[in-house]
Amino acid sequence: MTDTAPNAEAFVMAVLLTLLAAITIAIVRQRNMFGVVILAGIYSFLMAAVMMALDAVDVAMTEASVGAGVSTVLLLATLHLTGSMEYPQNRSVAIPAFVTIVVGAMLIWGTSGLPEYGAADSPMNTHVAPTYIEYSKNYEMPPNIVTAVLADFRAFDTLGETAVVFTAGIGVLMLLQGGWRTGSSGRREEEDDDPEAADDDNNAGGTSA
Amino acid sequence: MRLDLILRVGAKLILPFILLFALYVQFHGDYGPGGGFQAGVIAAGMVILYALIFGVRAAKHIAPPSVVEMMVPLGVLIFSGTGVVSILLGYNYLDYTGFHYDFLHAHEWGILIVELGVLVTVSSTMIVMFYAFVERGRR
């Protein structure tokens, strides 16, 4: 039992990570934005499965609902406005490729300095986490320590996160609805928005290329 | 668009269970995985699925934009107001100990209220964003 379990986990992780790499390559090569959005949704579901394999069910749930659900719908709504074909890029890919390879190599080099996954003596597990676990046990806090940490021990952080979501919401409202609410003056803002939408399309192409 | 019978019937079957799952994730967050953020997104996902299948007008009937827009700041208000209440009860900001004479119950209540604030803000923000994008394509 103890011998087979880690092997099975490693096998599942290897399959998932291979699929993630394949999806990433497909996204880079795909010129049709509709295909990119759908592939990004598949990527999010695979990522949710990876999070499940890492026992981070909260994160998996968030990844599946936000990454694959809501953001896919919002991106499809955006494609409805912008059209789904990427403009051909005339610029050279040499510099972006160089930057990507260097940054990627640095990140891979950086992972060699990380503690082993799940190591009990890593700084992450020896700093404040033992205090949280001890408090949760001594004071009989909610059995799910993640909830206790998020909503009680670190409620300030969660308040900040909620404020971030709130700010993002009113930001989108102001950008997308501000124009026509004001009536005739909105006409001019609308026309300013169109080149911006084209810019977004270019940026999306730039990150995927 | 009118002929997608399987989608409509399937969605009608699934929708109540999505909402039920959102409530389960919300109120069972003390014991299992989940919390306000996940529950909020799942609840918003239910409204968005409803809008995709039955049209935005029908979705605006069950989740009116004016109400949803009010909910965006309301959640932050619930969260930060909980902190103010705990100050008035003589404890630190967002220290729920004063809500009940029993320590465990006090903190359970505090977490429940705070998560409710997160749920309200997150779900309404997602729905508001969806409405904003869809409205823009409609004109």
In which band, very low, low, confident or very high, does the pLDDT at A20 lie, cut at 50, 70 and 90? very high
What is the average pLDDT across A134-143? 75
Half-sphere exposure of A111 (CA within 13 A, CB side): 6
Contact B43, B19 (CB under 8 A): yes
Enumerate chain A positions whose Cβ falls within 8 A of a Cβ in B.
57-58, 61-62, 65-66, 69-70, 73-74, 77-78, 80-81, 139-144, 146-148, 150-152, 155-156, 158-159, 161-163, 165-166, 168-170, 172-173, 176-177, 180
End-to-end CA distance of chain B: 19
Average pLDDT, whole number, for chain A? Answer: 80
Maximum mean pLDDT: which of A2-11, A45-54, B21-30: A45-54
Q: Indicate if the pLDDT at residue A121 is higher than 50.
A: yes
What is the average pLDDT across A173-200? 52
Q: Indicate if the pLDDT at residue A18 is higher than 90.
A: yes
Query: How many other CB atoms are there within 10 angstroms of residue A122's CB atom?
Result: 14
What is the average pLDDT across A68-83? 89
pLDDT score at A178: 66
The span from the CA of B136 to the CA of A47, in Å, is 31
Tell me whether 0.85 is exceeded by the ipTM. Answer: yes
Distances (CA, A) of B104 to A126, A144, A152, A153, B91: 26, 13, 12, 14, 16
Per-residue model confidence as pLDDT tens digits over A171-180:
988 888 765 5
pLDDT score at A176: 83
Q: Choose the closest CB to A169 out of B72, B93, B134.
A: B72
Of residues A162 and B98, more confidently modeled: A162
Q: Indicate if the pLDDT at residue A199 is higher than 80.
A: no
Buried b (16+ CB within 10 A) or exposed e, A84-104: bebeeeeeeeeeeeeeeeeee
pLDDT score at A41: 94
Chain A residue closest to B137 (CA)? Answer: A81
Of residues A183 and A70, more confidently modeled: A70
pLDDT score at A159: 92
Name the residue among B10, B60, B123, B7 with its Cα closest to residue A169: B123
Please enumerate in sequence order all residues whose Cβ is within 8 A of that of B68, keeping only pairs 6 or more positions apart, or say none. B124, B127, B128, B131
Q: Indicate if the pLDDT at residue A77 is higher than 80.
A: yes
Q: Indicate if the pLDDT at residue A55 is higher than 50.
A: yes
pLDDT score at A185: 42
**In B, which residues are within 8 Å of A169 by CB distance?**
72, 121, 124-125, 128-129
Of residues A126 and B17, more confidently modeled: B17
Q: Choose the closest CB to B35 out of A81, A147, A159.
A: A147
Chain B residue closest to A159 (CA)? Answer: B79
Q: In chain B, which residues have pLDDT < 50?
A: none
Contact B112, B37 (CB under 8 A): no
Q: Choose the closest CB to A173 out of B25, B38, B132.
A: B132
Is B133's CB within 8 Å of A176's CB? yes
User: At A19, which amino acid appears?
Assistant: L
Per-residue model confidence as pLDDT tens digits over A88-112:
777 788 898 999 999 999 999 999 8
What is the average pLDDT across A147-166? 88
